[in-house]
Structure 1
């Protein structure tokens, strides 16, 4: 069974299937990459909880930065957040994001109930 949560015309914020939760990309607000990363992470945590999951159950994370020069700043926030011993498989790359003020987008897949 496929369960879609917070579904709109364009996308669902969460899709659950066979014990896996797929989250839509999360962007954050704030002036700096660190601020936006913290906000993204907060949104990811909320969606994981809604899906019956948690950061400890993350399987994969894909992170897009508008500029790879911000890699270290984003990683400082990410590394402080990821539960020790529970780092997901992860990729990070540079991409033009949906709006010019966006600096980071995080996409997570996690095991769920």
Structure 2
């Protein structure tokens, strides 16, 4: 069974299938144009909320893809990432530089997570 969560005209924010939650890329819509730590905090909060809706949490992350508008934020992102994950396991991760779709966005993160036992 496939479950779509927070679906719109173009995409679902989360799709759950066969014990895995697939999140769409999350960006800082509310804090667009703000500094990098503020945008990262909003993205982490969005991910947490969507994982909860899918019946899982960040402790069950399998993979993450991170897009940064400026690789100058890479070291700072790693510190924020460590803090957000805390004692939880470290998912497989890729981090790349990219032009993000909306002006003022500095970061986008897409994750997959295990759901259930």
TM-score with structure 2 setting the length: 0.92
Aligned length: 113
Do structure 1's residue 44 and structure 2's residue 47 form an aligned pair? yes
Q: Which residue of 1 aligns with 2:85?
A: 82
Cα deviations across residues 20-65 of structure 1 (Å, max 9, x unaligned)? 0000111112511111111100000000000000110000010000
Instruction: Name which of structure 1's ranges 27-36 and 96-105 shifts more when overlaid on structure 2.
Output: 27-36
Structure 2 CA distance, aligned partners of 1:91 and 1:37?
A: 16
Task: Tell me the equivalent position of 1:11.
Answer: 11
Alignment of 1:1-113 (within 5 A): 1-28=1-28, 29=31, 31-113=34-116
Structure 1 unaligned blocks of 5 or more: none
How many angstroms does 1:74 deviate by? Answer: 1.5
Post-superposition Cα deviations, 1:58-95, rounded to whole Å, max 9, x if no partner, equal: 00010000011111121121110113241110010000
Q: Which runs of 4+ in 1 moved over 3 A?
A: none
Mapped partners of 1:112, 1:52: distance in 2: 6
Q: Which runs of 5+ in 2 are unaligned?
A: none
Instruction: Give the TM-score normalised by structure 1.
Output: 0.95
